[in-house]
Amino acid sequence: DTGVSQNPRHKITKRGQNVTFRCDPISEHNRLYWYRQTLGQGPEFLTYFQNEAQLEKSRLLSDRFSAERPKGSFSTLEIQRTEQGDSAMYLCASRRSGRESSGYTFGSGTRLTVV
Amino acid sequence: GQQLNQSPQSMFIQEGEDVSMNCTSSSIFNTWLWYKQDPGEGPVLLIALYKAGELTSNGRLTAQFGITRKDSFLNISASIPSDVGIYFCAGQNYGGSQGNLIFGKGTKLSVKP
C-alpha cells in the first residue's frame, strides 16, 4: 500500500466552474477525512466518513460542497460554482477507528486555484 | 470552539542547534500529535502522545504531553538542513467529534548550514 493518494495534485479553474477531487485512502482504514488548508494556516476539518457513512460536517462545508464515499473506499469532494475564496489545499486523511490508532495518514493534497 | 496556540511562529537557526516549540490549548485534549509538512505536501506524522505526562522520542525528536492536558512541546536536537519545514501540533478528542484533529497554525523552521 502506497499510502493516501489524491488526484489531481493541482487544479486551476475559473470562478463559477465545478471541480471534483478524488481521495484513495489506505485500504484497511475505515475512516476518511477531508481538510482544507489555506496559506499560513493549519489544516481545518471539513467532513469525515466511517465506511460509506458521512458522520460529520463542519460549518466550513457550505452548500456548494459535497462529499461522497459510495463504497466505503475512495471518496470524492465536489465544489460547485467555485469562488476565489475556495482557493486552498484540500487534504484527505485516513485512519483506522479506535482509541490508540489516532495516527492519521495524510495525502499530498490537491491545490485548488480559482481565477 | 477549541483553539491551539502554537509558538514560535517561525525560527531561523544554525545547523546543529536544538529547537523547541510548543502548543497550548484553551481546553483539554486526549491526544496530542506532531506533524511536519514540506512545501506542496501533506503533513507527515512525527510523534503521537496518548497520556498526560507522556514523554516520547523518535530519533532526534522528543515530545511531551502536558500534565494539564492543555499543552505539548516538541524538541529537535542537533538540527540538520532536512529539518526545514513547517511543524504543526494537533489535538484530538473523543466523543462528540469523532477524533477530528484541531491544528495549530504551525512553526516554520529554517536551518542555516
Alpha-carbon distance of B47 to B56, in angstroms, equals 7
- State yes or no: pLDDT of A42 exceeds 90: yes
* Cell numbers standing for residue A59: 460549518
Query: If you measure CA to CA, which chain B residue comes closest to A6?
Result: B42
Helices (H) and strands (E) in chain A, counts: 0, 11
Q: Could you tell me if B57 and B77 are in contact, meaning their C-beta atoms sit under 8 angstroms apart?
A: no
Residue B97 is predicted with a pLDDT of 54
Query: If you measure CA to CA, which chain A residue comes closest to B97?
Result: A56
Mean pLDDT, rounded, for B71-86: 96
Residue B35 is predicted with a pLDDT of 96
Q: Could you tell me if A77 and A90 are in contact, meaning their C-beta atoms sit under 8 angstroms apart?
A: yes
Residue B1 is predicted with a pLDDT of 55
Q: Which residue has the cell 463542519?
A: A58
The residues in B 17-46 lying below 8 A from A, measured between CB atoms, are 31, 33, 35, 40-45
- State yes or no: pLDDT of A1 exceeds 60: no
Residue B101 is predicted with a pLDDT of 86
User: Which of the four pLDDT bands, split at 50, 70 and 90, describes residue A96?
Assistant: confident
